[in-house]
Amino acid sequence: MHPLILAIESSCDETSAALIRNGKVLNNIIASQRIHEQFGGVVPELASRAHQQNIWRVVDQALREANVDVHDLDAIAFTRGPGLLGSLLVGASFAKGLALGLGKPLLDVHHMQAHVLAHFIDDPVPSFPFLCLTVSGGHTQLVVVRNHLDMEVIGETRDDAVGEAFDKAAKILGLPYPGGPLIDRYAQEGNPKRFSFPGADIPGLDFSFSGIKTAFLYFLRDQVAVNPNFIAENLADICASLQRQLVNMLMQKLRKAVRETGIRQVALAGGVSANRGLRAAVHEWTSSENIPCFVPELQYCTDNAAMIAMAAHFKYLAGEFADLTVAPLAGMEMERSSA
Ligand code: KG4
Ligand code: ZN
């Protein structure tokens, strides 16, 4: 079996298409939507429209660049959820139409599982089991990965995702959406110990980021009342200090998860794993503990169809196909441990 699969990702504000042959990703075409910058967040209706405009183009480009005839595809894959319903519908409908028209099987992919499976795109790949900290704009999860298609969430956020905390803090600072990468950039030149923000005292392996967001808002409101130029004069230190605390909160639970599960192999996934502060903290801790650590290449951290293609490959091998009645799910859950 050497399946050739076309994968489509459209869960949020990236329209992406990728091809995978026999488990090797051939390409990864991404059209990012700049339209949301001016609104300080993704506007769902605008996202759906932009997906509709982009989807033909990215699929066509993926096929042309890899010199693949659409009739040679063995299956069509798409992101079923979680994500914005209107955005998911564009990808799902396109994939279904193509599968129906070509008489090819359909594969539906869980977006968060795909973030984890991005680790199998290139060598070195983790062995099983491993612990994955999946951090994105919509999720913050600690996942025990037992096999490609066997994952269990052992901790997750009770409110905001960590990417959301980055983006909301950036918005408070007057930075455009998505602010996470900008906070990362300014933090490079700042003093991370200049200001301190409160963590969260959540039992077990769950996270909470709503408290730090509120504390950040009040801190700035008070400072700006005294000095209207406070943000401009201290931007790098503010970003570095906030980033340090967010990274500490993630690291604290990651260390706890390693202790409690005994799984001594960790991976980072999702958009926030592009963050330099987080990457450095994980590298530092894992090397001091002699724990193998896996961090995806930058293009596979944020949303992309290559990871959907990778997940689709494993589903194809397992014979887990979808039928044409499959509907996208905005709030698609992963299995969660009862402990
Ligand atoms: O995985 P992703 O592309 O989309 C979702 O599935 O949500 O993650 C997007 C999130 C956004 O919140 C963005 O601000 C954040 O990842 N992000 C970062 C960085 N790059 C992307 N956050 C902090 N530092 C970064 N370098
Ligand atoms: Zn994502």
Mean pLDDT value across residues 194-209 = 95
Q: Which of 172, 145, 141 is closest to 158 using CA atoms?
A: 141
Q: What is the mean pLDDT of residues 208-232?
A: 97
| Interval 22-33 mean pLDDT | 95
Question: 9: which strand partners?
Answer: 16
Q: Identify which of 16, 136, 171, 282 to mutate to test ligand 1's pocket (most ligand atoms within 8 A of the CB).
A: 136
Pocket of ligand 1 (CB under 6 A): 12, 136-138, 163, 166-167, 178, 180-181, 184, 270-272, 274-275, 302-303
Nearest-atom index, ligand 1, CA of 170: 14
d(CA 99, CA 62): 17
Looking at residues 312-319, what average pLDDT do you find? 98
**Paired tokens of 245:** 């605390």
- Whether the predicted pLDDT of 315 surpasses 80: yes
State percent of the chain over pLDDT 90: 91
pLDDT tens sequence across 3-17: 999 999 999 989 999
The per-residue pLDDT for 339 is: 46
pLDDT for 161 equals 96
Contacts 24+ apart (CB under 8 A), 199-205: 199/245, 199/248, 199/249, 199/252, 200/249, 202/158, 204/155, 205/142, 205/154, 205/155, 205/253, 205/256, 205/257, 205/260
**H, E, C per residue of 314-332:** HHHHHCCCECCCCCCCCCC
Ligand with minimal distance to 136 CA: 1
Choice between 177 and 234, residue whose per-residue pLDDT is larger: 234
The mean per-residue pLDDT over the stretch 91-117 comes to 98
Q: Give the separation between CA 260 and CA 92, rounded to whole angstroms.
A: 39
pLDDT at residue 223 tops 90: yes
Does the structure show a pLDDT above 90 at 134?
A: yes
In one-letter notation, the amino acid at residue 264 is R
- 58, HSE (Cβ side, Cα atoms, 13 Å): 30
pLDDT band for 136, please (50, 70, 90 cuts).
very high
How does the average pLDDT of the chain come out, rounded?
Answer: 95
Predicted pLDDT of residue 43? 85
Lowest mean pLDDT among 28-37, 64-73, 139-148, 287-296: 28-37
C-alpha to C-alpha distances, 79 to 4, 65, 126, 158, 288, nearest whole angstrom: 17, 22, 23, 24, 37
